[in-house]
Amino acid sequence: MILWLTTFAFSIASALLPFLPIEVYIVGAGTAEHGTAAAVSLGVAAGAGATIGKIVWYEVARRGADSAWAQRKLSKPKIKASYEKWVARMQGRPWYAAGIMFVAASAGIPPLLAMAAVGGLLKMPMWTFIPTVFLGRTLRFTLLFLGVDFAIH
């Protein structure tokens, strides 16, 4: 239970602070428990924690989109063009937006931190954002825990 809670807490911190890579933590933590059930359980803990952390980034972007600072940033041609490109791609296309978010959550391309902010800026529905990020992150982390377990046993 302690490892589960530690994994959950570390994954929240990792989601908020990109210099704390959860993948490095998983390599170490994965050696402490073995078996498929442990890998799935720890993958769920890491996925849930990461989702909570990304919700924070989503909300910061959503609530800050109308701030003077954000408007100054969005007035720069390169940033504005990128923002408008993502708006055109994602707005009004919930399945496409969910697909992009799932790929970011599970594969890391594009980076999930950036996509969480884009989701907030575009006001992606939470009913799409939360389960998509949770499923993608849980899948990614469970596979990493399983890989560590396979490698050491």
pLDDT tens profile 10-32: 999 999 998 999 999 999 998 88
End-to-end CA distance of the chain: 22
In this model, does residue 42 exceed pLDDT 80?
Answer: yes
**3-state SS record for the chain:** CHHHHHHHHHHHHHHHCCCCCHHHHHHHHCCCCCCHHHHHHHHHHHHHHHHHHHHHHHHHHHHHCCCHHHHHHHCCHHHHHHHHHHHHHHCCCHHHHHHHHHHHHHHCCCCHHHHHHHHHHCCCCHHHHHHHHHHHHHHHHHHHHHHHHHHHC
Under 8 Å between Cβ of 119 and 58: yes
Would you place residue 34 in the very low, low, confident or very high pLDDT band (cuts 50, 70, 90)? confident
Would you place residue 53 in the very low, low, confident or very high pLDDT band (cuts 50, 70, 90)? very high
Q: What per-residue confidence (pLDDT) applies to 153?
A: 77
How many alpha carbons fall within 13 Å on the CB side of residue 85? 6
pTM score of the predicted model: 0.88
Task: Give the pLDDT confidence of 74-119 residue by residue, as tens digits.
Answer: 788 888 888 788 778 777 788 888 999 999 999 988 889 989 988 9
